Amino acid sequence: MTAETTHPRVLVVDDAATVRLYHTSLLRDAGFEVAEAANGLEAVEAAMSTPFDLFVVDVNMPKMNGYTCVETLRSEAVGTAAPVLMISTEDRPGDADRAYQAGANLYLVKPVGAERLVRVATMLTAAKGPVA
């Protein structure tokens, strides 16, 4: 958790504006501080300048897809150990394995309901302190 706030800081990464709005609204209402990125590249740039307590990452995105994004977040260049929740429409065999190999902590298939998203985000950031 960042020093400036008691609210866990989340970066929502998705190229779909409506998905970003949905996840951002739910997490803000639950007391998280939320920033947004429209693709993996923007997410990596944001992570290099701002510490986040949780990343919520889509898979299919232009410029840099979700798997590459998570690998880069975990790489030496960025080096974040913050939890990563991947949320995708993909539910083929092996998709979750690929997410975990990239460095994700949890892989969920859309749609993810409000209660579940908040519950999972709270669980993943629990070590960082309570959500207001």
What are 57's two structure tokens? 């990452």
Indicate which single residue of 35, 41, 106, 112 sits in contact with another protein (rule: CB under 8 A).
Answer: 112
Among 7, 37, 90, 103, which residue sits at the site for another protein (rule: CB under 8 A)? 90
| By the rule CB under 8 A, 60 interacts with another protein | yes
Identify which of residues 1 and 64 has a Cβ nearer to another protein in the complex: 64
Roughly how many angstroms between the first and final C-alpha of the chain, as a whole number? 13
CA distance linking residue 2 with residue 4, whole number of Å: 6
Half-sphere exposure (CA, 13 Å, Cβ side) for 125?
29
**110 belongs to the binding site for another protein (CB under 8 A):** yes
Per-residue binding string, another protein, 9-38, x by CB under 8 A, is -------xxxx-xx--x-------------
Q: Tell whether the torsion through CA atoms of 89, 91, 95 and 96 is positive or negative.
A: positive
| Residues making contact with another protein (CB under 8 A) | 16-19, 21-22, 25, 59-62, 65-68, 89-92, 94-95, 98, 110-114
